[in-house]
Structure 1
């Protein structure tokens, strides 16, 4: 759950450090004091889009840091490990937005992307905005709520993947059918080109070998002549080096008897004799092997000419011919598969069957969840003074299916304007829609796995006894999760386990927002203000104590 939240230079907050508790908490204050700023800051830390407008006027940057206790959420540890981030019992999310609108993010001190903040945030917090009832009118939002409540999210994504695979295969079959003549011409051209280049049987390594052999064969006469000249000078002429060095070494060895200093020189000449003897032996072996081979030279030149002809023809360097051939062969394999219309049709049929199978399982799950969700939302609606209303989840068949399954989801209400159930948008007034939305949110939040739930003025449009029931519902929810509600209703705030007050004041010519944790006396004053407006009387104070169930 959320443990700490730090804001610095965010909108009209200069610096704020908050420590959160478990249970149900409320955030109250006068209109315009900035109650929703806290929610906006937390949403930014969780990966929502941010721009330069969140930076407090005159400041270089805005900074938000949120710390969560995640020991009870194993999915977070698995996600952190998968993304190569530090894993622990606490998770620190940090977001900085500068005055130019550039944004940076960190997770447990490591640089991260906004997308990563958003991904891990889905395991941590569920925020219900004050305009949630507006999105509730959209078909896709209704479908996602049902699937989320029923735990069908993974299955719905599987259906989407199966749908895409089926449609992609169908498009491949259609393209192959419509362009069969063009594909045939391309295939015939490629077959001829592949056959010609494959017959060359050329590899990239061969070119370097051919070039080396061609240079050797082309200069064979010079090589033989050079080797023979070297042998004559070193060993075969009367004045050959080998004989001269031998004479010098023998004479110096004899003189060393008279002066030992010459022994070192004689020893060095002995080493030279050994090296020279090895060189002469190597040259003799080379000369024995070296030979003029005009026929082999012609073969090499013919091979190089054949390779160069193909390289010029296809406008590539010789060493790139094998890669060109591999590309053509791959394309030819694609065309061969595309030409197999029967095989493509069989693939389409198989993928359609796979889609219908997984979509059928999703439909079965939705049918079961629809009845259960309808009954439970209707029960909560009765608590919210909508006793005549009946909530239903209709599943409308979609001919041929769709990416989201075999049916569309439609929320309907019966009993508010006649017994017949009709689409939500056509029968509910603004106030009724707000209460229905709250009933759905309370139910779906109970079934969600996130540890922290935030309700941002979702109680707009209700009051009196209904507001008290809303507070009780949120308090019950707070026994299972950490719940924070931004509210303007005293009856809701009085049900909270803890309460914060948001205020706005001028300081050095600048308007700043602040948040203060309220004790029992502070809560009495704040609840009385919410009940009685500007002038707080003894009666409103007494009423506040009664709501808070405090002794007078």
Structure 2
């Protein structure tokens, strides 16, 4: 509910504070007094597109603040959460327009974009009038309005789930077909490459091992001669023999040396042990260096083959095995493709059947709801003196089905029997259009949705009993919520719960607009003025009281 509106330096308003109430709120005043300026200011703070020049002459900037009370579960909470704004029961919107045209907005003291304001406005306010292009006159929203009227949320959820499942299965099939097509285009290459890699069967780390073997073999002849010399120097004809002789000689005299030879003998034993280890290591090395020419050729051939395949496929030698596994998987896609495609195609067909069934069920419920809405509209139009008009909800097939089914919904009217039906805003005249919109809103508003509804001169072109019927429908809409109506009709104003008069004050160099809250006596005078004109007579006051008490 719109609780307050604070306007500063906008158009011909210097400072204006309004406190609105639940129920039917009427704004009246002479033509040109500034009633539309209030709607321009409200539209500005809600992010609507409107006049380009809004700042009052002589002011540096204009500012509008709107305060809303949000009931539990209000749709605005979801918008606030998506925008990362703290959720509170009170919502304060503030927007500034500078003289150079820059606009800045805040929601609960959080800087926001105009897009966030517009998203919030869709949950807060509905504007209805002859130039309404946001609400009931916009055909894009007619399907959603019919679904809401018929309370089809559960059926819609089922249809949307079926649509998502269908899209998922179609994407899976398309991806599989693309993979198979890609694999088929390179099938010869894949089979040849896999066969070549399997024949070689390289292992991770093998290239480094082969390279070490090759370098060792290439250097073997040179180092083998030196190693043989070292083996001879350490053998019986060299160090081992000499140390053995020295050890025997010392052992022969040890008994007479009074223990002085024991330590040297122990040291020689250690030397012999280390010498033995060295000889075994040298012998192993000589064995390793023992090869024939064919072995070197075999090592080089395999090493060069591994490196050649690595260059061919632009991978590291150690990655050849994993690369082969990847090629093998691509071949598996091709080899198993027919079976996979058959399964995926069956899944798409099953998902299509489920979606078609859900969409058909939704279509049937919409047709039923359309007949109910048309009947309800016929009842509403009669008291509005449009009993000969025909309202019809047309449901036609959409060019492309979607998550909300396969229907296009459009509200059409024929103002006279036998006349061709057409869109609301193309067929109905000004006064007729106002009454169509009001009747439609009464029919569609079965449950309170937290919206503040604004009707801008929706009673234009009607009077007498018809205007009274319009006022009673507005009061019915406002019974469980809040309705603001800009009106020139005394019958409508007389039925309001709260009444404001918009006044324009002029001096020789300035024009200002203000709004005055009317008490009971002032309401009588204002409705009397609306009945009789500038001269308010006592008879006019009596007529005003009669309207207010009817």
TM over 0.5: yes
**By how many angstroms is 1:20 displaced?**
1.1
Comparing 149-158 with 433-442, greater Cα deviation is found at 149-158
Counterparts in 2 of 1:121 and 1:337: CA distance versus 1, 3 Å: farther
**By how many angstroms is 1:194 displaced?**
10
State the partner residue of 2:124. 124
**Cα offsets for 1:286-317 (capped at 9, x unmatched):** xxxxx9x99xxxx9xx9999899969986x99
Comparing 368-377 with 95-104, greater Cα deviation is found at 95-104
Matches within 5 A, 1:292-371: 341-371=341-371
State the partner residue of 1:518. 518
**By how many angstroms is 1:72 displaced?**
3.7
8 Å Cα contact 1:64-1:95 kept in structure 2: yes
State the partner residue of 1:263. none
Q: Secondary structure at the match of 1:462?
A: coil
8 Å Cα contact 1:416-1:428 kept in structure 2: no
**Cα offsets for 1:431-470 (capped at 9, x unmatched):** 3333222200122234351242221222222222111111
State the partner residue of 2:9. 9
**Cα offsets for 1:514-538 (capped at 9, x unmatched):** 2221222332332233233344444
Counterparts in 2 of 1:303 and 1:496: CA distance versus 1, 3 Å: farther
Counterparts in 2 of 1:517 and 1:330: CA distance versus 1, 3 Å: farther
Q: Secondary structure at the match of 2:362?
A: helix
Q: Secondary structure at the match of 2:372?
A: helix
Which structure is larger by alpha-carbon Rg, 1 or 2? 2
CA distance in 2, matches of 1:114, 1:478: 29
State the partner residue of 2:46. 46
**Cα offsets for 1:45-73 (capped at 9, x unmatched):** 33434675333345443322221112444
CA distance in 2, matches of 1:157, 1:60: 51
CA distance in 2, matches of 1:38, 1:317: 74
Counterparts in 2 of 1:495 and 1:337: CA distance versus 1, 3 Å: farther
Q: Secondary structure at the match of 1:7?
A: strand
Counterparts in 2 of 1:338 and 1:76: CA distance versus 1, 3 Å: farther
Count of residue pairs the alignment pairs up: 469
CA distance in 2, matches of 1:507, 1:195: 99
Comparing 172-181 with 155-164, greater Cα deviation is found at 172-181
Counterparts in 2 of 1:19 and 1:431: CA distance versus 1, 3 Å: closer
8 Å Cα contact 2:179-2:333 kept in structure 1: no
**Cα offsets for 1:336-381 (capped at 9, x unmatched):** 9998543453343233223223323422432332233222222111
**TM-score between the two structures when normalised by the length of structure 2:** 0.66
Comparing 323-332 with 159-168, greater Cα deviation is found at 323-332
Q: Which runs of 5+ in 1 are unaligned?
A: 218-290
**By how many angstroms is 1:481 displaced?**
0.8
**Cα offsets for 1:385-405 (capped at 9, x unmatched):** 123445443444568856652
Counterparts in 2 of 1:433 and 1:521: CA distance versus 1, 3 Å: same
Name the Cα RMSD after superposition.
5.2
State the partner residue of 1:55. 55
State the partner residue of 1:487. 487
CA distance in 1, matches of 2:201, 2:100: 61
Q: Which runs of 5+ in 2 are unaligned?
A: 216-284, 290-298
8 Å Cα contact 1:27-1:501 kept in structure 2: yes
8 Å Cα contact 2:390-2:417 kept in structure 1: no
8 Å Cα contact 1:200-1:307 kept in structure 2: no
**By how many angstroms is 1:40 displaced?**
3.0
Q: Secondary structure at the match of 1:21?
A: coil
Q: Secondary structure at the match of 1:122?
A: helix
CA distance in 2, matches of 1:200, 1:113: 62
8 Å Cα contact 1:311-1:321 kept in structure 2: no
Q: Secondary structure at the match of 2:53?
A: helix
**By how many angstroms is 1:185 displaced?**
1.9
Matches within 5 A, 1:381-460: 381-396=381-396, 401=401, 404-411=404-411, 416-418=416-418, 422-423=421-422, 429-460=429-460
Comparing 431-440 with 421-430, greater Cα deviation is found at 421-430
**TM-score between the two structures when normalised by the length of structure 1:** 0.66
CA distance in 2, matches of 1:175, 1:436: 51
- Residues 1:503 and 2:503 are matched in the alignment: yes
State the partner residue of 1:461. 461
